[in-house]
Every structure is written in structure tokens, then in C-alpha cells.
Amino acid sequence: MSNTGRQLKIGPTDNTSDQRTPRNRLRLIPEIARESFAPYVPQRGLSRQNDWDLTRIAPDLPRAEGVAIEVSGKLQNERGTPISNAMLEIWNANHFGRYRHIEDHSNIPLDEHFLGTGRVFTDSEGNYTFWTISPGAYLARPDIGRWRPKHIHISVSGGGSRLITQLYFPDEPNNASDPMAILMGDDFERNIGKPYETPKIDVDSGLNFDIVVGGRNAVYFE
């Protein structure tokens, strides 16, 4: 065996990363066992009527506070093949930087019109679109004054594709000090959305985020 598995790195100023990051190098998988490491996720359904529109809790309810944005892009594998019918699970903090999650105990206000979770599927060309409220940054480490930059969590699953990532915003002051962004180095740029104008729809601006599911583990290309 000439090569070795990756050595994972610990996110600077991230206590949880220090607690949970494996210290040993990842082990290589014998070729004969690789198939067993490629989960194939069954198709699942949507749960809410307007799962694609996080800017309001239901179609007949008022819009949440803050800047309404459209996020759209193409989902593809490393070979550029579009991935259709994949589910994107989306969650982000409200305009003020608070999650409506039972374990988010911060004092930042909730927004009575914002749930902050949604799901969409990619179409036959791998394209997806959803609306949400541009999230607030929040103070992750009050003791050292480190903020989490504005970000939207996106989990992609469907068939042989599996990825959990975060979409970041351009020119945000807190991007540079984010532990995960630091670990990504120059590659961080690929997780920043590209702004576009949205004159004809009921949102303030758009953010393009093309997603490439990497890894030779995604052995099934649908």
C-alpha cells in the first residue's frame, strides 16, 4: 500500500472540533469492501405545502422580517452530470441570527413568522430553487468574540449522492475567522454564493450556488 488516508484537521477556535475530530489518520478501504461504503438513499417526500419558501411559515401567512432572497443553482457530480430528484434539506437562522431549534438557547429574538427549515428537490436537469430570509450572523464564542458568518445549511441526499455543506455570503466580515472556512483555505471560495438580480420575482436578491457532489464514493451516477 503506497498511500494513506486523510488526516483530518481541527477547526481553530472551535471547541467541539477539538472534542470530536478523530486524531488518527483515516484508514484506506480494501477495494473489495468499497461498495459497502456507498449508501444509496431512497426517494422521500415533502412534508409541508410550501417547503420551498422559507420566507413564510405558510402561503397565507405574512413574510418574516429581513431580506428575502432566492437561492438557486445546479446540482451535479464531479463529471458534470446533473443529479436529478435529489432532496435538499435546508435550514438557516432568522434575520437576527437565531434558530427556531429547541436546543438553541440564545437570547436573540425569534421571529413569529419564520420557521427556518425547508426541503426542495432538483429537477430533471439538476436545478433547484428555494426562497429564504438572509440569515443573521451570530456570536459563536462570546469569550473570544468569534462570530459565525451568515450561512445557510444545505444537506443533499438522493441516490448515491450525499453531502452536507454550508452556503456563505460574499464580502462578509466574519468569513475569514470561521474555523471551517480556515480549514478549507482557498477552496472556501467555492462555498460562497454568487449574487444576481431578481427584478421579476418577489424577493430582494438572488444567490447562485452550484453544488458539486465530490468523492469517488458517489459511484452511482443517476
By CB under 8 A, the residues from 150 to 169 that bind other proteins are 153, 155, 159-160, 162-166
Q: Is 16 in the site for other proteins (CB under 8 A)?
A: yes
Task: Output the smallest distance, CB 75 to other proteins, in A.
Answer: 9
Interface positions, 181-200, toward other proteins (CB under 8 A): 184, 187-188, 190-191
Q: Which of 21, 49, 85, 205 binds other proteins (CB under 8 A)?
A: 21
Identity of the residue, 57 or 200, whose beta carbon is nearer to other proteins in the bound complex: 57
All three cell numbers of 154: 444545505
Identity of the residue, 196 or 220, whose beta carbon is nearer to other proteins in the bound complex: 220
Q: How many CB atoms lie within 10 A of CB 71?
A: 24
- Contacts for 89 with CB less than 8 Å, ≥ 6 apart: 117, 118, 119, 154, 155, 157
CA nearest to 182, candidates 9, 56, 33, 27: 9
Task: Output the smallest distance, CB 168 to other proteins, in A.
Answer: 9
Contact status, residue 66 vs residue 76, Cβ threshold 8 Å: no
Q: How many CB atoms lie within 10 A of CB 3?
A: 5
Q: Is 56 in the site for other proteins (CB under 8 A)?
A: no
Phi, psi for residue 66 in degrees, rounded to 5: 110, -165
Identity of the residue, 196 or 202, whose beta carbon is nearer to other proteins in the bound complex: 196
Q: Is 37 in the site for other proteins (CB under 8 A)?
A: yes
CB under 8 A: which stretch of 25-33, 55-63, 128-136, 197-205 binds other proteins?
A: 25-33
Q: What is the rounded distance in angstroms from the CA atom of residue 106 to the CA atom of residue 98?
A: 7
Identity of the residue, 71 or 211, whose beta carbon is nearer to other proteins in the bound complex: 211
Q: Count residues binding other proteins (CB under 8 A).
A: 78
Phi, psi for residue 127 in degrees, rounded to 5: -85, 145
CB under 8 A: which stretch of 19-27, 54-62, 121-129, 169-177 binds other proteins?
A: 19-27
Coil vs helix vs strand at 102: coil
Interface positions, 75-114, toward other proteins (CB under 8 A): 76-80, 89, 91, 99, 101-104
* Maximum pairwise Cα distance, the chain: 61
